[in-house]
Structure 1
Amino acid sequence: MYTISGHHHISMITKNAQINHQFYQRVLGLRRVKKTVNQDDPSMYHLFYGDLTGSAGTELSFFEMPIAGRTTRGTNAITQIGLLVPSFESLIFWKTRFELLGVKHGEITTYAGRDALHFEDSEGLRMILLNNNGEEVPENWSAWEDSIVEQKHRILGMGTIEITVRYLHRLAKTLKDMLGYAEVSRSDKEAIYQSVAGQSFGEIVVKQKEGPSEKPGKGSIHHLAIRVKNEDELRYWDEVVKERGFESTGIVDRFYFQSLYFRESNGILFEIATDGPGFTADSTVEALGKILDLPPFLEERRAEIEAKLAPLD
């Protein structure tokens, strides 16, 4: 039986790609590793940020939607993104940095058993810096040495992801029985699941909350992608998803990785994505994120696509 090896990437909505780029590269110190378009709607940018090469497990991705309104927070949504930093001292560094740069943030606290610092980007996307406390990270992660943030405090990659739903038991069954996550804690209203034992880079916190579903807008989270090695494993999971009674998109070639998508019973959208071939499929490491890259099936429409996109530094 195959297993899920952690988070792959997470995708959000931004209203303004230029402001988004400034925050994630100039404030958080991440590298923009791919400037491309939404393959299903190439009129909008799709930006990826991460480590040196945008390794699986480090990728934050954004669809630019200039007409996006305000997010109305609610249940049945992915509600917070954890990002790992090296140490408790890193949290102190980031708190001071956020104060200097006017980033909305809280006090240093704890979350899912780790020292934590909650903050938001300029569009209200909720994130949490988590103390990795010197623990191991996936061997494929590699630091971007040109980051504006000094090495000892840089963001390492994705940590605990929070999902809020009306029916915790339904998502619990999907994570445990279908995807093989281990349940490491459980109460009436909250549970924690891990795809890799003891590691937050594959951890999901599920919270139960009544009320209306979240209305997405700028700063909302569209879907969580979880990680598999290759297309053979993806075919296996495609069958598992269908046998469970969920509707699968089947395998979709995203050029930089292969994927399938499904919604669980609360309506949360999951993607299962392969590690490769990765963002260097059409770029050198040095050139990542600097020009508009298009998958081969869109290349012949480059002039049309570029004409509809606002220039982006």
Structure 2
Amino acid sequence: MYKIPGHHHISMITKNAQTNNHFYQHVLGLRRVKKTVNQDDPSMYHLFYGDLTGSAGTELSFFEMPMVGRTVRGTNAITQIGLLVPSIESLAYWKNRFDHFSVKHGEVTMYAGRAALPFEDSEGLRLILLNNNGEEIPDFWSPWDDSDVEQDHRILGMGTVELTVRSLEKTARTLRDMFGYIEVSHSDRETIYQSVAGQAFGEIVVKQEDGPSEKPGRGSIHHLAIRVKNEEELSYWDKAVKDRGFHSSGIVDRFYFQSLYFRDSNGILFEIATDGPGFTIDSPVEALGKELDLPPFLEARRQEIEAHLKPLD
């Protein structure tokens, strides 16, 4: 059986690409590694932020939907994103930085066994900085030296992702029984799973909450993508998903990676995505994120697509 080595990316909805672009580049200090469009609806931007090359496990991605309404929070949703920072001192640095930029944030607390600082972006997306405390991170994560954030406190990559569901056991059957995640903590209303024992870069907290399902809008999380090495492994998981009785999208060529999509029994949308070929397939490292990149099948429509997009700094 193949093992899941961690998170790949996570995708959200934004109402305003310009505001989003400013926050994630100039407040959080991430690199915009790909400016492209939603391949299923090329009238909207799809922006990716991450490390130097947008390595798997560092990518935050956003679909711009200018007409989207507000999120009505509820259950059966992905409800928070953890981002790893190097040290406890980093949390103090970020608290001061958030004050400077008038970012809504809480106090330093404990979350999933780590010192943490919760905050929100301007659209109410819930995020939390987590002290990685010098622990292992994937060796291919590469820092971006042009970040506005001080070197010792830069965001490393994705950490603990939180799911809120009506049935803990339904999602347990997906993470534990199908994907082989390790259950590391359990209570009546919360279970913590890790894809790699002891590591936050593949950790998922599942919380139980009754009530109506979340109504997605600006600042909501669309799906969580988890990593596989290559298309051979992706084909294995496609069969495993179908054997569990879930509907699979089948393998979809996203040009920058291969993917498949399915919803678990609580309605959580998961993507399974290959590590490569990556964002440098159509752009050198130094030019990543600067121009509008389109997959080959959309290139013939470039003029039409660009005419419908507002310029983005």
Q: TM-score band (shorter)?
A: over 0.9
- Please name the residue that 2:301 is paired with: 301
Deviations 1:220-262 (A, max 9, x none): 0000000000000000000000000000001000000000000
- Please name the residue that 1:204 is paired with: 204
- Please name the residue that 1:253 is paired with: 253
Q: Which amino acid aligns with 1:212?
A: P
Note if 1:49 corresponds to 2:49.
Answer: yes
3-state SS of paired residue (1:9): strand
- Please name the residue that 1:179 is paired with: 179
Counting matched residue pairs gives: 313
- Please name the residue that 2:154 is paired with: 154
- Please name the residue that 1:267 is paired with: 267
Q: Which amino acid aligns with 1:89?
A: E
3-state SS of paired residue (2:140): coil
- Please name the residue that 2:216 is paired with: 216
3-state SS of paired residue (2:36): strand
- Please name the residue that 1:141 is paired with: 141
Note if 1:93 corresponds to 2:93.
Answer: yes
3-state SS of paired residue (2:287): coil
Deviations 1:117-147 (A, max 9, x none): 0000010000000000000100110000000
- Please name the residue that 2:311 is paired with: 311
Q: Distance in 2 between matches of 1:225 and 1:197?
A: 19
Q: Which amino acid aligns with 1:111?
A: Y
Root mean square deviation, CA, Å: 0.3
Q: Distance in 2 between matches of 1:293 and 1:308?
A: 15
Deviations 1:102-125 (A, max 9, x none): 000000000000000000001000
Q: Distance in 2 between matches of 1:168 and 1:176?
A: 11
Q: Distance in 2 between matches of 1:122 and 1:174?
A: 32
After TM superposition, the score normalised by the length of structure 2 is 1.00
Q: Which amino acid aligns with 2:35?
A: K
3-state SS of paired residue (1:107): coil
3-state SS of paired residue (1:105): coil
CA drift at 1:185: 0.9
- Please name the residue that 1:62 is paired with: 62
> Between the two proteins, what is the percent identity of the paired residues?
81
3-state SS of paired residue (1:106): coil
CA drift at 1:67: 0.5
Q: Distance in 2 between matches of 1:94 and 1:150?
A: 10
Q: Distance in 2 between matches of 1:48 and 1:68?
A: 19
Deviations 1:167-224 (A, max 9, x none): 1110011100001101111111100000000000000000000000000000000000
CA drift at 1:5: 0.5
CA drift at 1:281: 0.3
3-state SS of paired residue (2:160): strand
CA drift at 1:150: 1.1
Q: Which amino acid aligns with 1:262?
A: F
Q: Distance in 1 between matches of 2:43 and 2:168?
A: 37
Q: Which amino acid aligns with 2:39?
A: Q
Q: Distance in 2 between matches of 1:60 and 1:75?
A: 22
- Structure 1 stretches of at least 4 aligned residues deviating more than 6 Å after TM superposition: none
- Please name the residue that 2:2 is paired with: 2
After TM superposition, the score normalised by the length of structure 1 is 1.00
